[in-house]
Copies of this chain bind each other. A is one copy, B any other.
């Protein structure tokens, strides 16, 4: 849910008029009454919700069929992967719409409070850690009981971005022994600060003058073999290498999974974009020789109240920049405004949109 009652209240105080479709908050445990108490108009259906709207806020890009209801010249704020939403993009261009996407937010410190990719990755990483514990047929923590000592679970987190760090933190909270791996050496310190051991695969890409050099085919093989060994020693592997709008890279081959013990668990956070594991099926748990591969589909939706809470704050902070007085008035010289823009009054501005629709690139995004 793109707005929560708390944030609606703030927006209304700032001067916005807010309409919410009846029942839209139900899954996230926000009732119509809570929205209406916060000052929103609760509209009976989609048509009434968007009628006359100057700005439409949603989590993801709308379906092409929904656009018929949208006013001409409307402004849209959401995650919007142009390459995956070509029909919607064309429909919005035809309406002279303006589209801002969280995917394209510049990674600058002033934009941190608007960073919905990070806030949702925080939720996803936490959920992945929990999901791993839920599916493992063993304890995460070590237990010393009268009947004997249970060793702690061994967890390997592949990909140490925001989501990977949260997975590490959650697995550590639950008492697991955690190893982490990332191709970026800079990730080492962050992973270690959360109590994980950073994998050293015995091959250094350190080149001359501080630059990374390309690995030789033999070195790559050696690296893959070392990784396969670590995977085989793990009770749990959590993979987090998703790239918005692109197919996820394969980190775990079928052969690597076959090297894992019966009862081991793979949690694949990149299932929606094809998966980091060759055997992943989005939204399903695949049993491969007793190894369970969990393809997490839309992980934030598993924890909708707080996922929405954070997303709504990101939205409010974007609106604080683009319309602090309750009316949209984006400053087209601001790099955040330019960076997030996919479509400006029907004209493609992001590189992905320009590629699909033609036009000149103003933004720096993909």
Contacts and interface: CB of A to CB of B under 8 A. Distances in A.
Interface of A: 26, 28-31, 112-115, 118-119, 122-123, 126, 130-131, 133-134, 136-139, 141, 143, 145-148, 150, 170, 173-175, 261-263, 290, 303-306, 309-310, 313-314, 317
B150 A310 contact: yes
Contact of A148 (B115, B174, B313): B313
A310 B148 contact: yes
Contact of A303 (B115, B130, B138, B303): B138
The 8 residue pairs across chains A and B that have the minimum distance between CB atoms: A29-B263, A137-B305, A112-B146, A147-B313, A29-B262, A148-B313, A138-B306, A113-B146
Nearest to A174: B173
B174 A145 contact: no
A293 to B, nearest CB: 14
17 contacts: A26-B290, A28-B137, A29-B262, A114-B147, A118-B145, A122-B143, A122-B145, A131-B134, A137-B306, A138-B303, A138-B305, A138-B306, A139-B303, A170-B174, A173-B173, A173-B175, A263-B305
Contacts of A126: 139, 141
A261 B5 CA distance: 15
A290 B26 CA distance: 8
Contact of A145 (B170, B303, B310): B310
Contacts of A131: 134
A175 B113 CA distance: 23
B146 A115 contact: yes
A147 B317 contact: yes
A31 B262 contact: yes
A304 B29 contact: no
B136 A303 contact: yes
B263 A147 contact: no
A137 B290 contact: no
A115 B305 contact: no
A190 to B, nearest CB: 16
A123 B143 CA distance: 10
A205 B210 CA distance: 72
A7 to B, nearest CB: 9
Contacts of A262: 29-31
Contacts of A317: 147
A36 to B, nearest CB: 15
Contacts of A150: 306, 309-310
A150 B126 CA distance: 13
Contacts of A114: 147
Contacts of A306: 137-139, 150
Contacts of A136: 303
A131 B113 CA distance: 31
Contacts of A310: 145, 147-148, 150
A146 B113 CA distance: 5
Contacts of A263: 28-29, 305
A121 to B, nearest CB: 11
A177 B146 CA distance: 28
Given A113-B147, A150-B306, A309-B150, A137 B175 contact: no
A123 B133 CA distance: 13
Contacts of A118: 145-146
Given A139-B306, A174-B173, A305-B138, A29 B290 contact: yes
